[in-house]
Copies of this chain bind each other. A is one copy, B any other.
Amino acid sequence: MAASTKPLILSILKEGKSYGYLIIQKVKDLSGGILEWSDGMLYPVLHRLEKEGYIESEWMISENGRKRKYYSITEQGKLELIAEKEDWLSVQAVLVKLWGILPTE
């Protein structure tokens, strides 16, 4: 399941800055509660993606004074997302053929 973390995180950050806790919520919301990521699973991935140069972070203070580490996607990350998207769609196309379903099913 977690093999999909990279495209999902990059896609979310392409929509705009976000932070760890909120990313988990967004994934949960967008999936209708099906995808529930743990924080212990997400943070190492965020650190790895930052180390690889796909995202970058800055500490910010929210309205209520809470510290948050906001991540944003880099130019390199955008290119990587395009590649990830191509890969995903390639596999998706094959699976759709094998499953004999319409892609929306």
Contacts and interface: CB of A to CB of B under 8 A. Distances in A.
A3 B90 CA distance: 13
A12 B95 CA distance: 9
**How many copies, total?**
2
Interface string A45-75: 0000000000000000000000000000000
A77 B97 CA distance: 19
Interface residues of A, number: 31
Given A15-B98, A104-B103, A90 B8 contact: no
Q: For A1, A7, A91, which residue has the most chain B Cβ atoms within 10 angstroms?
A: A91
Contacts of A11: 95, 98-99
Nearest to A12: B98
Q: Nearest 7 pairs between A and B by C-beta?
A: A3-B3, A103-B103, A11-B98, A4-B91, A30-B94, A34-B90, A31-B94
